[in-house]
Amino acid sequence: MAENTFDLVVVGAGPGGYVAAIRAAQLGMKTAIVEREHLGGICLNWGCIPTKALLRTADIYRTFKHAKDFGLKAGDIGFDLEAVVKRSRGVANQLSSGVKHLLKKNKVQVFDGHGQLAGEGKVKVEKDGKAVADISAKHIILATGARAKTFPGLEADGDLVWTYKHALVPNTMPKKLLVVGSGAIGIEFASFFSTMGAEVTVVELLDRITPAEDPEISAFLEKALKKDGLKIKTKTKVAELKKGKGEVTAVLDENGKTSEITVDRVIMAVGIQPNIENIGLDKVKVEQDKAGFLQVDGYCRTGTPGVYAIGDLVQGPWLAHKASHEAIVCVEKIAGMEGVHPINREHIPACTYCHPQVASVGLTEAKAKEKGHEVKVGRFPFVGNGKAIALGEPDGLVKTVFDAKTGELLGAHMVGAEVTELIQGYSIAKTLETTEEELMHTIFPHPTLSEMMHESVLDAYGKAIHF
């Protein structure tokens, strides 16, 4: 077995890994990437992309059911679950093939197998227990990602109890569904299955859903989801899952009060855990937090020179675009480029693609105050926007948080139609360190949803026009 020598080897080909490999190749490095399962990783194959395909189907189905509100007639509305899933898988497969093409185009050598550190500057690759290659590289980036977190007694079995992976390829449409966890993954699946006709209950251990979001946005979303038919239980723990024939009874503990709910299926969406097993961490000096995530600096460097870590393997937020940006920063720093900035986590936007959508960037109002800022807060409701009303999407809110003394945009928080597309405007503003004055002087096109972003800024300073 020949030894392969490279400038850089990346272990894992998700949205962090493959981006790192491509950028390194662009910068003239001889680059290899090791992937044991899917090019594109979880996000592309079993996460971000296929879930959006499912949610697009749900959006269209929802519109069909409200056809009369638009002056249209549509009868016998239904769906073919197998065809819905097939389309979702087709979208994922198309993009996975695209990643393969990009790696080939950039002359990145791909090794099919499981990679693990084998000493300083060494990676060994195995497949089905057999050696594939020994790789040497001055720089090694670990990008092995994460998987669904499990708890003893609440493990998924793929039949009655699902993870996100099982929920993406359901063999049945449950009449009653329990979703455990109300982060982005849990809420997106709850929204999808509810729209498609399931009676959905969401259980959250904390005191509100989407706990990473601004509390005002979480409250707005909860109200909207309940209006749409979802049942939501906060401050509630799943103590036990009792499996029967074709059904599951969940024992719930709500502030010490015990109750039971029987459903057809359960989706466990209680977070993720890093893939740190069998990647050779014992061969290097790498610090980990209590949950096992690797500790790195702003340039994704571990405690061992030449070893780096990015994506879901390191501290959150655990988002594909965060992983891709880390990849660029890490590689460009390795290449010695000037002007490379360390990761600023306050500039990372977050998106949840339920109905209504949720998006945010920067500090919440509460976090801004905790950091000592005197704040000015602006709000603008979708019901005051002509485009939102024309679309039949009048439920939503845009909220902006500014430093009262400097006018710095500290955070932006949105719930409503297409806010996952709108949030990039505020992301750019934060990256450019834009002030309220510059946003006020920006001309927003009419009629658009983006006008609400302008109005929210105006409202923070008592200048809103349309509400």
Q: What is the mean pLDDT of residues 401-414?
A: 98
Q: What is the mean pLDDT of residues 40-62?
A: 92
418 in a known ligand binding site: no
* pLDDT value of residue 275: 95
**Alpha carbon 383 to chain centroid distance?**
28
Catalytic, 114? Answer no
**Whether the Cβ atoms of residue 162 and residue 174 lie closer than 8 Å to each other:** no
Asked if residue 450 has pLDDT above 60, the reply is: yes
Asked if residue 11 has pLDDT above 70, the reply is: yes
Q: What is the DSSP letter of 283?
A: G
Burial profile 391-430: b = 16 or more Cβ within 10 angstroms, e = fewer? eebebbbbbbbbbeeebbbbbbbbbbbbbbebbebbbebb
Say how far apart CA 178 and CA 231 lie, in whole Å: 9
115 in a known ligand binding site: yes
204 in a known ligand binding site: yes
- Which is the catalytic residue, given 325, 413, 446, 454? 446
Pick the closest to residue 359 from 410, 312, 427, 311 (CA basis). Answer: 427
Pick the closest to residue 36 from 138, 121, 140, 125 (CA basis). Answer: 125
Q: What is the DSSP letter of 342?
A: P
Domain 161-270 matches domain 356-460 at the CATH topology level: no
Q: What is the mean pLDDT of residues 198-227?
A: 97
* pLDDT value of residue 74: 87
Question: What angle separates helix 48-65 from helix 184-195, to the nearest 10 degrees?
Answer: 30
Say how far apart CA 54 and CA 192 lie, in whole Å: 7
Burial (Cβ within 10 Å: 0-12, 13-18, ≥19) of residue 3: exposed
Q: Does CATH number 3.50.50.60 belong to domain 161-270? A: yes
311 in a known ligand binding site: no
Asked if residue 2 has pLDDT above 80, the reply is: no
Question: What percent of the chain has a predicted confidence (pLDDT) above 70?
Answer: 99
| Lowest-confidence pick of 116-120, 379-383, 435-439, 449-453 | 116-120
User: Rounded mean pLDDT of the chain?
Assistant: 95
pLDDT of 305-361, one tens digit each? 999 999 999 998 999 999 999 999 999 999 999 999 999 999 999 999 999 999 999
186 in a known ligand binding site: yes
271 in a known ligand binding site: yes
Asked if residue 1 has pLDDT above 80, the reply is: no
- Where do the domains of the chain lie? 3-147+273-345, 161-270, 356-460
339 in a known ligand binding site: no
188 in a known ligand binding site: yes
Between 286 and 380, whose confidence is greater? 380
Q: Does CATH number 3.40.390.10 belong to domain 3-147+273-345? A: no
Asked if residue 417 has pLDDT above 90, the reply is: yes
* pLDDT value of residue 203: 98
Q: Which fold has domain 356-460?
A: Enolase-like; domain 1 (3.30.390)
